[in-house]
Chain A
Amino acid sequence: MSKTRSLRVYLFGAFLSAVLLPYLVLGVVGFSAVKTIAGRQGEEKLDIIVHSLAGRAMAFLEENATALRAAGQSLDSGAVEAAKLPVFLGRLLENYPVFETIMVLDGKGLVEAISPEDPDFVGIDFSRQEFYRGTRERFEVAFSDTFLSLRTGHSVVSLTARAGSRSVVGILDLEKLSSFLVGVTLGKEGSASIVDSVGTVIADRDRELVLQRSIFRFPGLLEKAATGELVSGVYAAEGKPHRATALRMPFTGWTVALYQPLAEANALSTAMLTGFIGAMTLAIAVFVAILLLARRRILLPLERLSAEAARISAGDYSGQGGPEAAVSDMDFTEIEALKRAFAETRMAVGAREAAMLAAEDRLRESLTQKDVLLREIHHRVKNNLQIISSILSLQADALRGDPAEASFLECQGRVQAMAAVHERLYQSEDLSRVSVREYFETLLDAAFMQGAELAPGARRELAVDDSTLDLDRAVPCGLIVAEALSNSMKHAFPNGREGTISVRFARVGGRFELSVRDDGAGPGSGFTERRPSSLGLHLIDALSRQLRAEARVGAAEGGGFEVSLAFAATVGE
C-alpha cells in the first residue's frame, strides 16, 4: 500500500527545513555571537576606561604630591626664610591652583603660614587633624580621607609632605577629578563616578551629585570592589538595572565606577534582536504569502479536480463548477494543462458512458421482449398441457367404469403436474427457475383434490426449504412427487384409514434430498423394488435416472411407503 503525503505538509516542511530552521539557527547563533562580542567589547571598553580613569586620578595625586614633596624639600633645606614663607606658599598655590589651601605646620602641628592668607588660622593647632597624623603614605606624602572644605564646601583631600620637623599640607580640591570624567561617554544615560572610601561621590559628570556629596547609587558594587579586583555586573538603582564596572584605586580607598542602564548597554544586541525578529516576521509573512499563493494556484485547483472526480464518479458530467471554471491567466501552466486534460477526460468518459447507457437500454428492451415472449411460451405450454389434461379427463369420463379410466386419469395427473411447472414459471419473476415449495404445494393440492374420495382420512405435510429448481429438473422432480402422491392416495389409506403424507425437500450440502412418505398400509409382501410392478414406479425409476439419481422406493421405516432420492444441487455434478 503506497503512502500519501499532504502537499500542505510537504510545503510547510520544505519551508521549515529549508528556510525557517536555518534562518532561526543562523539568527540565534548570530545574535548570541553578536551579543557575546558586543558584551565583551563593552566590558573591555569599560575596563579600559576604568583603568584609564584610575590611572589619571593617580597621576593627578602623584603630580601634586610631587609638588608638595619638592616644597617640603625646599623648606627642609632652609632655602625659604620664615618671613618669606607666605610668599613661597602663594607662588606654590599659583603654580598648583588645584590646591584650595596650602599651609605649613610647625613641629607641634600649629599653622605657621597659610595661603590664601587667613589670619584666623595662623597659630591654629591642627595637630589632631588626620592630615597631620596621616597614615596613608604614597609618593612620600601622607594622604587623608576626603572631607568637606571649610572654605569652598567642596570635597577635598589633604596631602602632607614632611619638611624636617615641619609639614607642608596641601588641601587638594577634588573638583578637578570631575573634569576627567567629562570626556567619558557611555551612551546618553551612562556615567562615571569616583567614590571615596565611605561611598560619597567625589567626582561625577553631574556636578550636583558632587556638591551634595551624594551617596553612590550602587553600594553593592563598592562592596564587591573592595577586594581591589576589577569587578563588573548588573546592579539596580531606582529600580533600573545597570551594567556597572568598578575598580578600587590603591591606598586612597577611592573607587572608579562606570555605569550605564542595561537597556542602553544592550542597545546593539537589542537592535539586532529586533532586526532578527523583524526578519523572522518578514520571512513568515513571505512564507504565508507563498502558502496562500500555492493554495490558490495549486491546492484549490487540485481540490476542484478532486471534487470534479467525485462528481464524475456520481455520474455528473456537466462540468459546472469544474476546474476549468477557475482557469485564469495567472494559473501555472502545468495546473492549467492538468485542468484541460481533466476536462477532456471528463468529456470522453461522459460520451462513452452515454453510449454504454444507450446500449444497455437497448439490451434491456430486448431482454424484456424476450422475457415476455418466454412467459407467453410457458403460458401457452401450460394452456396446451391443460387442454391435453382436459382431453384426457374427457376421455376418462368416456371410459368410466372401464379399467382404462384409471390410466387416463393417471396420465391426466401427470400432464397437470407438468402444466403446473409452466404455470409456476410464467408467474414467477425468474422464468428459468421455479420455487420448489410453491410447485409442491400445487402438486399436493391437485393430488388431494383428485384422491379425496380414495383417501378421505389422509392428511398432508409439506417440509420444503427455499430451494428453487430449473425447468430441466423441476419437471422430472415434480412428476416423481406426483407419482408418489398418487400412489399413496390410492394405496396407503384404504377404507377411510387415516394417516399422513409427508413431502420433504431440502438442500443438504451439495445435494437435494427428496422424499415422499406415507404412514399408511405400506407395500404388500410381494413388492420388489428392483422390479417395479406399476407404470408409476417405472416412471419414478426413469425420471430418477434423468436426474442422475437412484430412487429408493419401498417400505418406510416405522411403517408405510416411501419414495426418496437425492440428486446433485448443481447441474453437471
Chain B
Amino acid sequence: MSPRESPRPATSKRSPLLTLPFRFLAAAACCAAALLSPSCSRETKLAYSCELSGVHSDTGVAGRNAALLAVEMLRERGERISIEARDDGGDPARAAEVDTALAGQGRRLVIGHTRSFVTAGSMAAAGAETYLLLSPYSNGAAVVGRDDFLFCLLPPARAQAEALADRARELGYGRAAVAYDETNLAYSEGFAKDFAARFEAKGGRVAASVMFQRGNDGHMGDKVALVAASRPETVLIVGSVVDTAIFSQLLRSSGFAGQFFGSDAAMEPGLARNGGAAVQGMIFAHIFDPRKPRPAAKAFAARFSERFNQEPSLAAYLGAEAVFILAEVAAKDDSPAAVKSGLLAGGFEGLIGPLRFDASGDAVRHYELFELRGEAFEALP
C-alpha cells in the first residue's frame, strides 16, 4: 500500500451501482495483469522481528500489533501480503539467527529491531543474498551512516540530540548532566555524546556523564547521586520509559529542580504514569506529532483503536509505517537488492509524514520538539 493513500479507503459517495462496472473492469484488468505478470500474483512476504517478550517488549509488541493490523488492512484491499512475527529476545546474536531463519523461509524483508544494539547485531548478516532490514525504532550512531541493507524510519539520533542541545542552550542552561542506559549503548552512548558535543559547542558545559543500569544488580541511586552532585541546570536522560521515569523521580527527590530532556525511546504514554510529577515538562524531539495526525495516520489510529481498544503509541505508528512502505516498494520485486533500490530512489508520503532515505538508508525527516504536559506530548513552538 502506498502511504500516499489513506490506509482505510475514504468513503465514496458514489452509488455502488455506478461504480460496479468500474469495479468489474478493475477486477478484470487485475486478472489479466495476473495472467500476464507473474509478479502480480506473487505474495509479498514480510517478517517482523523485535523484542516481544521481557521487560523491554512494550515497543516491540505495540509495533507488532500495528504491523499485523497494517497487513490485515492491505489484505482487505486485495493485496497479497503476509507477515510473520518473531521474538528476537532483545539479543543481537539471536536477532541475527531469527532474521536469517526468516530469510530462509522466503521472508527477506525484515522489520526490526527495537533497540539499536540488537539491530547492530543483525545488520551484519543483512545483504542482497540474505535480507533487508527496515528498522522502525533504531537510529543510534552504531547503525546509521552506512551504505548497507539496513534502513531506518527515524532520522539518526544525533540530529535529535543536537536539537535537544540547541533547545537547552536556547533556554539558557549552561551546565548540563547526561545519564544514559548502559544496556543499549549502541543508541544511548552516541546520543549522550552528540548532545554533549553540541551543548558544549554552543557554549555550555556538561558537568557529568553517567551510565546507569536498572534491574539485576544495578541500582540507580548512586548514579543519581553523581548527577546531583554535579549540580546541573539541566539533565538529559537517555533510556527506556521506565528508566527515564525512575531516574527522573530519584533525581527530583534528591533536590534537582532543573529541566529534563529525554530521548524518543521514552516518549511513550507510560512515562507520565511512571514518572509522576517529576517528568512533567520534560522536553523531547520527535518526528511525529500524534495530536496532529495526517489523514492516513488518523484513519489508521481509528482502526487500531477499534481493534485494540486503545490509542496507538508512536511505536505502533512506526510499525505500521514500515509495513506500508515495504508493501509499496516490494509490490513488483521483493528481492533485497530491488527493495533497496526502490527505497533509495523514491520519496514516500509515509504514514506519519513525508519520508525519503539518504544514501546510507537513513530517514531524512525533521525533528520537532515536544513537552510532556499531563499525559500528552505537546509540540513546542
Q: Is the CB of B55 within 8 A of A120?
A: no
- Residue in B65, B68, B242, B277 whose CB lies within 8 Å of A150: B242
In the bound complex, how far is the Cα of B219 from the Cα of A118, in angstroms? 8
Q: Is the CB of A124 within 8 A of B246?
A: yes
Indicate with 1 or 0, residue by residue over A99-131, a CB within 8 angstroms of chain B CB atoms.
Answer: 000000000010000000011110111111110
| Sampled A-B contacts (16; CB under 8 Å) | A119-B221, A121-B246, A123-B253, A124-B276, A125-B275, A126-B276, A128-B273, A128-B274, A128-B375, A148-B57, A152-B55, A153-B53, A198-B309, A199-B307, A212-B87, A215-B65
Q: Which residues of B contact A198 (CB under 8 A)?
A: 308-310
Indicate with 1 or 0, residue by residue over B253-286, a CB within 8 angstroms of chain A CB atoms.
Answer: 1000000000000000000111111100000000
* Interface check A5, CB cutoff 8 A: no
In the bound complex, how far is the Cα of B242 from the Cα of A124, in angstroms? 12
* Interface check B339, CB cutoff 8 A: no
| Residues of B in contact with A, size category | 20 to 34
Q: Is the CB of A212 within 8 A of B220?
A: no
* Interface check B178, CB cutoff 8 A: no
Total of A-B residue pairs, C-beta within 8 Å: 80
Minimum CB–CB distance from B89 to chain A (whole Å) comes to 10
In the bound complex, how far is the Cα of B277 from the Cα of A440, in angstroms? 155
Lowest 6 CB-CB distances: which A-B pairs, in order?
A: A125-B276, A153-B54, A212-B52, A211-B53, A153-B55, A198-B309
Q: Is the CB of B87 within 8 A of A149?
A: no
Q: Is the CB of B219 within 8 A of A119?
A: yes
* Interface check A424, CB cutoff 8 A: no
In the bound complex, how far is the Cα of B53 from the Cα of A100, in angstroms? 17
CB nearest neighbor in A for B62: A213
In the bound complex, how far is the Cα of B273 from the Cα of A150, in angstroms? 13
Minimum CB–CB distance from A147 to chain B (whole Å) comes to 8
CB nearest neighbor in A for B50: A212
- Restricting to A121-173, which residues have a CB under 8 Å from any CB of B? 121, 123-130, 148-153
* Interface check A468, CB cutoff 8 A: no
- Residue in A109, A118, A208, A215 whose CB lies within 8 Å of B276: A109
* Interface check B214, CB cutoff 8 A: yes
Q: Is the CB of A130 within 8 A of B273?
A: yes
Indicate with 1 or 0, residue by residue over A209-225, a CB within 8 angstroms of chain B CB atoms.
Answer: 00111010001000000
* Interface check A252, CB cutoff 8 A: no
Minimum CB–CB distance from A82 to chain B (whole Å) comes to 18
Counting chain B CB atoms within 10 Å of each CB, the highest count among A127, A208, A213 belongs to A213
* Interface check A73, CB cutoff 8 A: no
* Interface check B250, CB cutoff 8 A: yes
Question: In the complex, given contacts A123-B249, A128-B272, what are 18 additional A-B residue pairs having Cβ atoms less than 8 angstroms apart?
Answer: A109-B276, A118-B219, A119-B219, A123-B250, A126-B276, A127-B277, A148-B57, A149-B55, A153-B55, A153-B56, A198-B308, A198-B310, A211-B52, A211-B87, A212-B53, A212-B61, A212-B85, A213-B53
In the bound complex, how far is the Cα of B274 from the Cα of A148, in angstroms? 12
* Interface check A500, CB cutoff 8 A: no
Q: What does DSSP make chain B's interface, helix, strand, loop or mixed?
A: helix
Indicate with 1 or 0, residue by residue over B298-315, a CB within 8 angstroms of chain A CB atoms.
Answer: 000000000111100000
Counting chain B CB atoms within 10 Å of each CB, the highest count among A120, A123, A125, A211 belongs to A120
Q: Which residues of B contact A200 (CB under 8 A)?
A: 61
* Interface check B215, CB cutoff 8 A: yes
| Residues of A in contact with B, size category | 20 to 34
Q: Is the CB of B249 within 8 A of A125?
A: yes
CB nearest neighbor in B for A210: B53
- Restricting to B79-133, which residues have a CB under 8 Å from any CB of A? 85, 87
In the bound complex, how far is the Cα of B219 from the Cα of A211, in angstroms? 25
* Interface check A442, CB cutoff 8 A: no
In the bound complex, how far is the Cα of B375 from the Cα of A128, in angstroms? 9
In the bound complex, how far is the Cα of B61 from the Cα of A383, in angstroms? 140
* Interface check B182, CB cutoff 8 A: no
* Interface check B58, CB cutoff 8 A: yes
Q: Which residues of B contact A215 (CB under 8 A)?
A: 65, 68, 308
Q: With A150-B242, A213-B61 given, is the CB distance from A124 to B249 under 8 Å?
A: yes
* Interface check A66, CB cutoff 8 A: no
In the bound complex, how far is the Cα of B55 from the Cα of A152, in angstroms? 6
Q: Is the CB of B307 within 8 A of A213?
A: no
Minimum CB–CB distance from A244 to chain B (whole Å) comes to 18
In the bound complex, how far is the Cα of B275 from the Cα of A124, in angstroms? 8
Indicate with 1 or 0, residue by residue over B47-77, a CB within 8 angstroms of chain A CB atoms.
Answer: 0000011111110010001001000000000
Q: Which residues of B contact A125 (CB under 8 A)?
A: 249, 275-278
Q: Which residues of B contact A450 (CB under 8 A)?
A: none
CB nearest neighbor in A for B280: A128
CB nearest neighbor in B for A121: B246
Minimum CB–CB distance from B268 to chain A (whole Å) comes to 11
CB nearest neighbor in A for B215: A151
Q: Which residues of A contact B53 (CB under 8 A)?
A: 153, 208, 211-213
Q: Is the CB of A148 within 8 A of B249?
A: no
In the bound complex, how far is the Cα of B301 from the Cα of A449, in angstroms? 138
Q: Is the CB of B219 within 8 A of A120?
A: yes
